[in-house]
Structure 1
């Protein structure tokens, strides 16, 4: 009996690890992949390493398995590895920094070319209040030894006309995700992905 249960348990563990699109221990855990594309660089696997220069501009986001069907979406990107002690990072803890929070993405129903994605269309103008926190590219400080920062993207389905006021976000450094989600009435993320950038 033991010989049968071990492989089954191990298979479940491996499947769980393979499905997670968020870092180990991150809450909420998300299984469905958000495609993240920076120009010609695609985040192929969770935790893929990219350079600062690769991620300087806001990525294209979408799905590759099926088009999304919600009315609109909110996308955010968070660095979860910012040192609390910038003078000596190894002696302090780590905190979050919100790099982007945008509302008003709409799904595409156009079939992508082979190997492409169903892109989510960002709002046509940032003057409508959709760019609550405009995109700021990763710029982790150099640390010795080098410390890769994990940048987590989360996608939430929202109703048409959903808006967020800047004051509802609070501080970007030390951003409290669970408090924000509760404050604005979001559900659980429908998609996620993350990548690493080392200073």
Structure 2
């Protein structure tokens, strides 16, 4: 709501700027100076523009954070958890709706929790829940990662995150268990929606049976259209999600038509599209980049 209100305020300010330009010089000779009343209006509008942009930047960042929190808690995605899952990429852990450059997320992350876990075995799943279809705005899903056999550490490790340094208990693949679905980094296609949400959930598999393990393996065999809730139900793991997280990665566009094929620029990989072919995953909007993640609009 605040974001929309601030957008309207900015548009009103721009309208006033246009009116000022139209009235400038009417009935006056252009001597290179501004009349006192015009100078005052110019100064006022300049301050208003700066203020409006600042308000939009803060409201947009807040909207992203709220979106990530709702996603973590189950609004638009199930299963979910109210407990934070730390997903850390080479020194950065994007938390709950942060917009991240594709280049940050190319390699498999480390994951952890803020509190020590009591189980003996865990699995992580990462799902893109905004896969385009030929019937927009309908979307589908794709499984980006499923790793079982993770054991919780008993000692906390310091990590850097988009909210500052934290200490987390990492989950480790000590037995070198082969992933049911090896990690694939985000790569949003140049189709609507250009911005994709990537949800990660941690599941307690301490009591998983052999039959349940095979059910998970079978579910991971089909990445496109992956239904995490159904997969966990078939494995007997309903209600076993213990932590969650989500972040956004965006293709800068322009968006192709729903039925467009991969002609011209771009290339398709694992069911997703890098629209301009350079693989950098830059955001469609302008951002303040700290090299690896977006702090908001400028």
TM-score range, shorter chain: 0.7 to 0.9
Change (3 A) 1:131 1:116: same
SS of the residue 1:120 aligns to:
strand
Q: Is the 8 A contact 1:103 1:162 kept in 2?
A: no
**1:1-199 to 2 correspondence within 5 Å?**
20=70, 21-22=72-73, 24-44=75-95, 46-64=96-114, 66-85=115-134, 91=136, 93-113=138-158, 115-126=166-177, 130-143=178-191, 147-159=194-206, 164-165=213-214, 166-188=217-239, 189-199=241-251
Measured on the aligned residues, the alpha-carbon RMSD in Å equals 2.5
Determine which structure has the larger helix proportion and give its number.
Answer: 2
Distance 1:18 1:47, change over 3 A: closer
User: Which whole-Å CA distance do the structure 2 matches of 1:109 and 1:57 have between them?
Assistant: 25
8 A Cα contact 1:142 1:198, kept in partner? no
Tell me the TM-score normalised to structure 1 length: 0.77
Structure 1 partner of 2:29: none
Figure out how many residues of one structure are paired with residues of the other and give that number: 174
TM-score by length of structure 2 reads: 0.53
Unaligned runs of 5+ in 2: 1-65, 159-164, 252-298
Taking structure 1 as reference, are residues 118 and 157 closer, same or farther at Cα in structure 2, changes over 3 Å only? same
CA pair 56-115 structure 1, distance change in 2 beyond 3 A: same
Of Structure 1 and Structure 2, the greater strand share is in 1
Gaps spanning 5+ residues in structure 1: where?
1-15
| 1:44-85: CA deviation from partner (whole Å, max 9, x where unpaired) | 3x1111111100011110012x11111110100000000113
Q: Tell me how far apart the structure 2 counterparts of residues 77 and 35 of structure 1 sit (CA, whole Å).
A: 13
Give the ranges of 4+ consecutive aligned residues of structure 1 lying more than 4 Å apart after TM superposition.
Answer: 16-20, 160-163
User: Take 2:186 and 2:125, find their aligned partners in 1: how far apart are those partners?
Assistant: 13
Residue pair 2:208, 2:236 contacting (<8 A) in 1 also: no
Larger gyration radius, structure 1 or structure 2: 2
